[in-house]
């Protein structure tokens, strides 16, 4: 059988799904991030000084784009996979010869596509408020793609293991949101006391946000090489974990 056709089928279905309900999937993050630009960037930011030589509004643009990418890619995969499991139409794939890695790749690609589209939309809105500088477009691309991949993989693992709708909302509410807000989206960790600077270094989202910001302005609170290493490591670990779950039917087959 052609695994590429199976992969294409999953991606097409996933993209069609979120495009069909774009009012729920694409528009809300754009509105939310616009409010952040207005409130934090315009109203509050105008009273703040520069951070690392850049205006506060420009400083928060990469973080807010990344925040939208993280939430969109994660929620796309977790909600799509869990609702397939809940409605039992995931069985359509499970009874087919589609290999586990293709199922994983298909769902993750769907999440990455949504994450990148939402990221592009939020970035487009930011242009109305500031003129972000682009330092290294290659790094911007690497960070946005890998971050969307990591969180799509995380969403897939959550979707596979979730047993009810509570399990689907626990991770975004209690893990992702705090880590994102504390991941240097709105501030530089250099402004924190030394102890909290050290604690912040355990937050993987800090590396993603800073690596992405480096692509725009060439400044970062952490090493960009460490950020790339962390991204690749998380991608590899989560990919292996998902492959193991799907291959062994954990959370799917009794």
Partner 1 sequence: MHALSVQHLSKIYVNGTQALKDVSFAIEAGDFCALLGANGAGKTTLIGIVTDLLKKTSGEVKVFDHNIDFKFSKAKQLIGVVPQEFNFNIFEKVQDILVTQAGYFGIDHRKARMDSEVILKRLGLWSKKDSASRTLSGGMKRRLMIARALIHHPKLLILDEPTAGVDVELRHGMWDYLKELNQQGMTILLTTHYLEEVEQLCRNVAILKNGELVTYDRVYHLMQRLEKEIYLVTVDRIQDVGSIQKFGPMIKEENTFEVELSKSDVHDFILKVTEIGMTITDFRSQGHRLEKLYLKILKT
Size of the site for partner 1 (CB under 8 A): 26
Of 71, 79, 98, 158, the one binding partner 1 (CB under 8 A) is 98
What is the three-class DSSP state of 212?
helix
Closest separation in Å from C-beta 170 to partner 1 = 23
- Crossing angle of helices 204-217 and 224-247, rounded to 10°: 130
H/E/C letters for each residue in 155-184? HHHHHHHCCCHHHHHHHHHHHHHHHHHCCC
Q: Does 100 engage in binding with partner 1 (CB under 8 A)?
A: no
Of 22, 27, 46, 91, the one binding partner 1 (CB under 8 A) is 91
Of 92, 124, 134, 163, the one binding partner 1 (CB under 8 A) is 92
Q: For partner 1, which stretch binds (CB under 8 A), given 80-88, 115-123, 189-197, 208-216?
A: 80-88
Q: Does 9 engage in binding with partner 1 (CB under 8 A)?
A: yes
What character string, x for contact with partner 1 (CB under 8 A) and - otherwise, covers 11-50? -xx-------------------------------------
Task: Note whether 247 and 179 are within 8 A (CB).
Answer: no
Of 97, 164, 194, 225, the one binding partner 1 (CB under 8 A) is 97
Tokens of 83: 């609702």
Question: What is the distance between the alpha carbons of residues 233 and 134, in angstroms, rounded to a whole number?
Answer: 26
Q: Does 94 engage in binding with partner 1 (CB under 8 A)?
A: yes
The single-letter DSSP state of residue 21 is: T
Closest separation in Å from C-beta 90 to partner 1 = 9
Question: What is the distance between the alpha carbons of residues 73 and 157, in angstroms, rounded to a whole number?
Answer: 13
What is the three-class DSSP state of 51?
strand
47 vs 254, beta carbon nearer partner 1: 254
Question: What is the distance between the alpha carbons of residues 108 and 155, in angstroms, rounded to a whole number?
Answer: 9
Q: Does 2 engage in binding with partner 1 (CB under 8 A)?
A: yes
Long-range pairs for 83-92 at CB < 8 Å and ≥24 separation? 85/159, 85/160, 85/162, 85/251, 85/252, 90/252
34 vs 98, beta carbon nearer partner 1: 98
Tokens of 171: 């991770």
Q: Does 95 engage in binding with partner 1 (CB under 8 A)?
A: yes
145 vs 252, beta carbon nearer partner 1: 252
Binding site residues, partner 1, CB under 8 A: 1-3, 5-6, 8-10, 12-13, 84, 87-89, 91-99, 249, 253-254
């Amino acid at each position: 059988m052609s695994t590429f056709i199976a992969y294409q089928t999953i991606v097409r279905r996933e993209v069609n799904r979120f495009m069909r309900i774009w009012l729920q999937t694409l528009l809300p993050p754009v509105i939310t991030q616009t409010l952040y630009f207005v409130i934090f960037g315009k109203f509050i930011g105008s009273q703040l000084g520069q951070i690392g030589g850049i205006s506060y509004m420009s400083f928060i643009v990469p973080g807010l784009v990344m925040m939208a990418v993280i939430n969109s890619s994660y929620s796309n995969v977790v909600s799509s996979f869990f609702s397939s499991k809940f409605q039992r139409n995931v069985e359509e794939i499970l009874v087919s010869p589609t290999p586990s890695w293709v199922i994983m790749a298909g769902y993750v690609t769907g999440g990455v596509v949504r994450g990148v589209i939402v990221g592009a939309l939020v970035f487009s809105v930011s242009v109305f408020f500031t003129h972000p500088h682009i330092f290294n477009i290659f790094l911007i691309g690497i960070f946005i793609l890998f971050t969307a991949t990591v969180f799509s993989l995380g969403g897939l693992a959550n979707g596979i293991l979730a047993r009810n709708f509570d399990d689907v909302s626990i991770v975004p509410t209690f893990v992702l949101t705090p880590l994102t807000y504390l991941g240097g989206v709105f501030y530089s960790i250099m402004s924190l006391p030394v102890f909290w600077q050290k604690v912040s270094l355990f937050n993987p989202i800090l590396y993603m946000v800073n690596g992405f910001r480096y692509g725009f302005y060439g400044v970062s609170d952490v090493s960009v090489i460490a950020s790339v290493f962390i991204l690749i490591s998380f991608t590899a670990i989560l990919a292996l974990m998902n492959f193991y779950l799907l291959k062994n039917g954990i959370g799917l087959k009794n």
